[in-house]
Chains A and B, each alone.
Chain A
Amino acid sequence: MSTFASSRETTEGTIYSVTGGDWDQVASEIGSAKEERVVVNMGPQHPSTHGVLRLMLELEGETITELRCGIGYLHTGIEKNTEFRTWTQGVTFVTRMDYLSPLFNETTYCLGVEKLLGITNDVPERASVIRVMMMELNRISSHMVALGTGALELGAITPMFFAFREREKVLDVFEKVSGLRMNMAYIRPGGVSQDLPEGTVSGIRELIKDLRKNFKDNAKLLIGNSIWIKRTKGVGYLDLAGCITLGVTGPVLRSTGMPWDLRKTQPYCGYENYDFDVITADTCDVYGRFLIRMQELEQSLRIIEQCCDKLDKLEAAPVMVADKKIAWPAQLSLGGDGLGNSLDHIRQIMGTSMEALIHHFKIVTEGFRVPAGQVYTPVESPRGELGAHLVSDGGTRPYRVHFRAPSFSNLQSTSAMCEGSLIADVVAAVASIDPVMGDVDR
């Protein structure tokens, strides 16, 4: 074992660094070794590890006897950074954590800031409806990635193309509404940064028709595929007791038959006013989790339809709290050089009102003060319970921001799901948890 893999002696035994392309030779040499135990390092740059997840597998033959996760490769210190910026600027940081569902990060953070400020009931209804609509669109785009890449990792390439086609259409809506496809910082403490541009609601109605038809076709690609079914059924088993003790939430928990969805059990943003079903499965496996995601797409479409009806009735209603001491002066307009501060607003603060200029300057640079205290605000993200633990000391900057990330908690269950199964099933199990490493490492 010298020509193809460099080796070094450690207290644990000989360590071989294999770089690929030589598996047959390695396998035959290992077969003749005295010790049966093999430790394989999967990732952090393995294509099926959803970014930079490192899995340390201890194997006996092809069976996993022990699995450990190595995380932290995407740690960016977002929680620390927010302590040095204003409460409003915090949105720009937290949106980058779970980059597949940024609007959920923003919403849970803003709900927390609003609760600290005591203005939860002052948030205009139109803003809440827009938040719900954007979140459900985001749930679709996030589930599309989960389903598409999940299938891709099991060898089915076609579903991924179609999933990303649908996701692209949803991202187009985000771009139209917020100017950005990802990390929009669209939801702000007190409401949303700006109202929907003209024609958005009718555009979304068209999109729903389109998506509803395509979702059915896409589902057939997977449910009608016997290889996909064989790779997912009975794989990555985790029952209700396991989920509860490990704090696992979201589709993984619902795949055990537990109808726990915060949108129903502890509604926020007015979810109690929408008509939708909580999807469950009783298989406790990868198959059930993917099936739940497929059916949740339809429920999200139902909610978005109801949002469109509500938005029609709330035409021209405010989208930000009336209190100018909190509302960010985000009067934006589209000019010849792109989206920027509205010229009317600039003309007003620069030309006519000194006080308005001072106010604009102070709220943008210094921010608003938030009364001291701590809150925890949870929302149901596509991955499970996403919660923000915010502590204020009464200043204009957060004292502590901590996110209870669903990917972080759910990823802990990988060992319970995989130990005793085959290596190939690890890929399916991890895909069914749908971890986003930005959310895990923050």
Chain B
Amino acid sequence: MSEQKGSFGIQGTGDTSGYGGLVRSSFSPTSAQKPYGSYFDEVTDELERAFPEFNDAIEKVVVDRGELTLHIKRQRLFDVAKTLRDTETLRFEVCLGVSGVHYPEDSQRELHAVYELLSMTHNRRMRLEVSTPESDPHIPSLVEVWAGTNWHEREAYDMFGIIFDGHPALTRILMPDDWPGHPQRKDYPLGGIAVEYVGATIPSPDNRRSYR
């Protein structure tokens, strides 16, 4: 696992005890085998019926800790999402949001967008996961499918730099409009930003005087 730097002088893995020998490895969940259990078989079967190119669009189906995750090719995300919303037997009518995750070691799939879906009709939950390379961080926007993803996609853009194609107004939402960089990426340091006041600048914690 890559080193995270800049947390108030903590270097390396951040193992403050120094005795843990902390080595973290990248994690990639394995594909589940049928039957998946619970309502997951029904959901995947119904999706396959309503969306014939299922095998082409879905990279893998992960069932972990009682939760269903479909890893989807980004080109097919919009169609899959629309099918999940509109098919009567699926009816995932609520998208609870978009959460970005940055895996710098996952080559050509560094940026992930995770969508939590909820079906109030059938009282079910599931998750969509889409990945995109850092060099070409484009994912189709789902605002047309679920209007509520509007701000969530703006947040994922702000924090991770994922560009959601087709979003009506993809601008920063939490950080100032002129902020450089995307703070939630793993290579973006914590701290490290000097605080500016009128007439004075306080250096960031890792740039202050050190007595070591």
Contacts and interface: CB of A to CB of B under 8 A. Distances in A.
B162 to A, nearest CB: 13
Given A71-B173, A393-B24, A412-B151, A84 B94 contact: no
Contact of A395 (B22, B64, B95): B22
Q: What bracket does the count of chain B residues touching chain A fall in?
A: 35 or more
A441 B176 CA distance: 12
User: Among the interface residues B127, B148, B149, B175, which one has the most CB atoms of the partner chain A within 10 A?
Assistant: B148
Interface in A348-405: 361-362, 365-366, 372-376, 378, 385, 387, 389, 391-397, 399-400, 402, 404
User: Among the interface residues B1, B102, B174, which one has the most CB atoms of the partner chain A within 10 A?
Assistant: B174
A397 B14 contact: yes
Nearest to B129: A374
A408 interface: yes
A84 B175 contact: no
A399 B100 CA distance: 12
A378 B123 CA distance: 13
B101 A247 contact: no
B17 A81 contact: no
B146 interface: yes
Interface in B154-208: 155, 159, 172-176, 183-184, 190
Interface string B107-146: 0000000101010100101010000000000000000001
Contacts of A81: 190
A13 B190 CA distance: 40
B1 A248 contact: no
B25 A393 contact: yes
A391 B17 CA distance: 23
Contacts, number: 134
A375 B123 contact: no
Given A245-B146, A374-B64, A394-B27, A366 B22 contact: yes
Contacts of A254: none
Interface of A: 71-72, 75, 77, 79-81, 83-84, 115-116, 118, 244-248, 258, 260, 265-266, 361-362, 365-366, 372-376, 378, 385, 387, 389, 391-397, 399-400, 402, 404, 408-409, 411-412, 441-442
25 contacts: A75-B175, A77-B183, A79-B184, A81-B190, A245-B93, A247-B97, A258-B120, A260-B120, A366-B22, A373-B27, A374-B69, A374-B101, A374-B114, A375-B67, A376-B67, A376-B116, A393-B27, A395-B22, A396-B22, A399-B101, A402-B100, A408-B151, A408-B152, A409-B151, A409-B152
Interface of B: 1, 4, 7, 10, 14-17, 19-20, 22, 24-27, 29, 64-67, 69, 93-97, 99-102, 114, 116, 118, 120, 123, 125, 127, 146-152, 155, 159, 172-176, 183-184, 190
